[in-house]
């Protein structure tokens, strides 16, 4: 006999297994950091992404083995409605109720038709508001300088993390830290008896750094901060900087970064604490930043539904040059773009749909190094037809008809990518003054350098494929031609031996599909002579074939670049 209680417990057990394995691989980060095993951290970060889907599919297989082929018909709706109710009751005092809800939704949505995707069967609306709130204090520890003094309190905080590696000179680092705090937060009360430190119990690991995150609570208010900890080759650890500006903290937690590895028993409490430090970050962005990208999808979808319920605006085609692979649209009041793979590509794209899917997945699993926008991938997204502008609907029917279904007053998009909206770099330059142009072209060159340092070759480096954020950072967002840098063949342009060869130009030498000629970079990315000159001036290395070849050699030698997600001027000037 089919049992709602048995189904609910089977799904919750599937979630429990997922979370235990997720935390287990996350817990490998401290040891990898202690041994400076950067390859292990990268591998764990990548492998962890696939854990969720594996566990969901395992849970579905278990349900089918227990209950036979599962259907949802007119004779069975009560079974699944009761299952949802029982599952909801099981989460009343669960430490990760929001994640367990999303896991349930994933299992159900892979089993049944989207016509059942409503709050009677799944958790379209979260039930967290009906449950006891998990206190943020469960995720942080408080320290009181009035007891032992400021510097001893900082020593105690560092000792708590037990990095299992000595510091090169911790006393010097503490002096630099206090000095930086006095400079960056002059309005904070600095006497020991006038402050309290709230420090998250676990470091946040990413790439070659561990980040200590907390806040100073004083009579003058709350001052958030981040302190990165780095390795100095084989000599030990050191505190590298103090970040107190909310804008810089948001960049560290940005949408173009790899996910942090951080242990937590209660993600909702951790996200709530982080949200207090960075109120401009959405819960979806913070869940994504700490590795819970499926929960981020759930949070984001709820944000979208809420936005649609509060606006009369319609989705419209996105600004910028039309792409040959994607149809892109947006909702003016919502800071995201929606991308659908076209049915037919432009003649300059000699590949198919599966290649595009694979390349977006490559970026999802790769270190995005702060230069590649994260994407949220959805299937069967239902949008109200009255929210689609006539112009956009016409374009969708013309370019992505095979990805569309119409169900009454709903438009169903079978496969969709969503990214943070930015101003396309080519459009930004049309309105930029001289100073702004210099900043973003420098950023463009730096973005290329940082991507190639982590084995990413963007392929199509046209300015239209890069966006400018509100912080004037330049981010790459078009992945249909992304490849590994090590798969490319970087060549110098052959020098003509005589005047006839010069006139023949490219016809005098052969070009294979993977061949790249860096000397031609500025020729192809822009027709603006001012921009070309500026790029050559600021980043001449990018036009040198040896620079690209050396980057390939570094990757093959497993040299992992340390690309700091905060400005150089914030780094402590250590006297080694």
On whether 504 is known to bind a ligand per the annotation, the reply is no
CB burial of 458-480 (b: ≥16 within 10 Å; e: otherwise) equals bbbbbbbbbbbbeeebbbbbbbb
Q: Alpha carbon of 91 to those of 9, 20, 88, 111: distances in Å?
A: 11, 17, 5, 22
CB burial of 144-180 (b: ≥16 within 10 Å; e: otherwise) equals ebeeeebeebbebbbeeeebeeebbbbeebbebbeeb
On whether 151 is known to bind a ligand per the annotation, the reply is no
Alpha helix ranges (H) inside 505-544: 521-525, 529-538
Report DSSP letters for 320-374, one per residue.
Answer: SPPPSSEEEEE-TTSSEEEEEE-SS--TT--S-HHHHHHHHHHHHHS--TTTB--
Question: Is 515 designated active site?
Answer: no
On whether 221 is known to bind a ligand per the annotation, the reply is no
Q: Are strands 515-516 and 489-490 parallel, antiparallel or unpaired?
A: parallel
On whether 543 is known to bind a ligand per the annotation, the reply is no
On whether 291 is known to bind a ligand per the annotation, the reply is no
On whether 282 is known to bind a ligand per the annotation, the reply is no
On whether 339 is known to bind a ligand per the annotation, the reply is yes
Q: How far apart are CA 262 and CA 291, in angstroms?
A: 8
**Beta-carbon neighbour count of residue 417 at 10 Å?**
21
Q: Within its chain, how far is the Cα of 412 from the centroid?
A: 26
Q: How far apart are CA 527 and CA 548, in angstroms?
A: 23
- Which position among 374, 460, 478, 480 bears the catalytic label? 374
On whether 319 is known to bind a ligand per the annotation, the reply is yes
Q: Percentage helix, strand, coil, to 5, in the chain? A: 50, 15, 35
**Which positions are annotated as active-site residues?**
374
Annotated binding site: 318-324, 339
Annotated binding site for ATP: 318-324, 339
């Amino acid at each position: 006999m089919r049992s709602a209680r048995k189904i609910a417990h089977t799904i919750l057990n599937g979630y429990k297994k997922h979370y235990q394995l997720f935390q287990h691989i996350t817990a490998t980060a401290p040891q990898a950091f202690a041994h400076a095993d950067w390859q292990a951290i990268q591998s764990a970060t990548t492998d962890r992404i696939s854990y969720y889907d594996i566990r969901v599919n395992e849970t579905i297989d278990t349900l089918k083995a227990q209950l036979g082929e599962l259907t949802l018909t007119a004779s069975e709706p009560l079974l699944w409605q009761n299952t949802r109710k029982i599952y909801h009751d099981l989460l009343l005092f669960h430490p990760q109720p929001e994640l367990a809800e999303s896991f349930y939704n994933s299992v159900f949505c892979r089993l049944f038709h989207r016509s059942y995707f409503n709050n009677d069967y799944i958790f379209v609306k979260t039930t967290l508001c009906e449950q006891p709130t998990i206190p943020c204090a469960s995720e942080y520890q408080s320290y009181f300088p009035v007891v032992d003094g400021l510097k001893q309190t900082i020593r105690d905080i560092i000792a708590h993390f037990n990095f299992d590696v000595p510091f090169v000179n911790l006393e010097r680092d503490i002096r630099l830290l206090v000095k930086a705090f006095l400079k960056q937060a002059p309005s904070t009360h600095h006497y020991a008896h006038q402050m309290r430190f709230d420090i998250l119990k676990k470091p946040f690991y990413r790439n070659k750094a561990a980040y200590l995150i907390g806040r100073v609570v004083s009579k003058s208010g709350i001052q958030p901060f981040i302190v990165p900890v780095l390795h100095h080759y084989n000599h030990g650890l050191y505190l590298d900087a103090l970040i107190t500006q909310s804008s810089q903290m948001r960049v560290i937690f940005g949408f173009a970064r790899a996910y942090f590895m951080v242990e937590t028993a209660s993600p909702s409490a951790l996200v709530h604490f982080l949200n207090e430090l960075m109120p401009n970050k959405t819960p979806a962005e913070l869940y994504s930043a700490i590795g819970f990208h499926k929960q981020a999808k759930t949070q984001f979808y709820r944000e979208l539904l809420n936005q649609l319920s509060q606006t009369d605006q319609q989705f419209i085609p996105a600004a910028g040059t039309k792409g040959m692979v994607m149809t892109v649209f947006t909702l003016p009041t919502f800071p995201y773009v929606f991308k659908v793979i076209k049915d037919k590509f432009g003649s300059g794209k000699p590949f198919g749909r599966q290649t595009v899917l694979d390349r977006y997945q490559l970026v999802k699993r790769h270190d995005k190094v702060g230069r590649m926008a994260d994407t949220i991938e959805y299937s069967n997204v239902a949008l109200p037809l009255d929210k689609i502008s006539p112009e956009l609907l016409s374009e969708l029917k013309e370019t992505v008809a095979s990805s569309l279904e119409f169900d009454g007053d709903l438009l169903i998009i079978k496969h969709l990518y969503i990214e943070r909206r930015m101003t396309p770099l080519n459009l930004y330059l049309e309105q930029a003054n001289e100073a702004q142009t210099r900043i973003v072209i420098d950023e463009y060159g730096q973005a290329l350098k940082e991507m190639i340092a982590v084995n990413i070759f963007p392929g199509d480096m046209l300015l239209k494929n890069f966006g400018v954020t509100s912080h004037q950072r330049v981010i790459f967002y078009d992945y249909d031609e992304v490849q590994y840098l090590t798969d490319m063949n970087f060549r110098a342009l052959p020098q003509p031996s005589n005047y006839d060869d010069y006139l023949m130009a490219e016809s005098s030498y052969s070009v294979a599909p993977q061949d790249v000629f860096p000397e031609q970079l500025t020729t192809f990315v822009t027709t603006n002579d001012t921009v070309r000159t500026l790029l050559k001036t600021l980043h001449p290395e990018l036009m040198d074939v040896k620079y690209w070849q050396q980057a390939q050699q570094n990757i093959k030698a497993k040299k992992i670049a340390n690309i700091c997600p905060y400005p150089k001027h914030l780094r402590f000037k250590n006297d080694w």
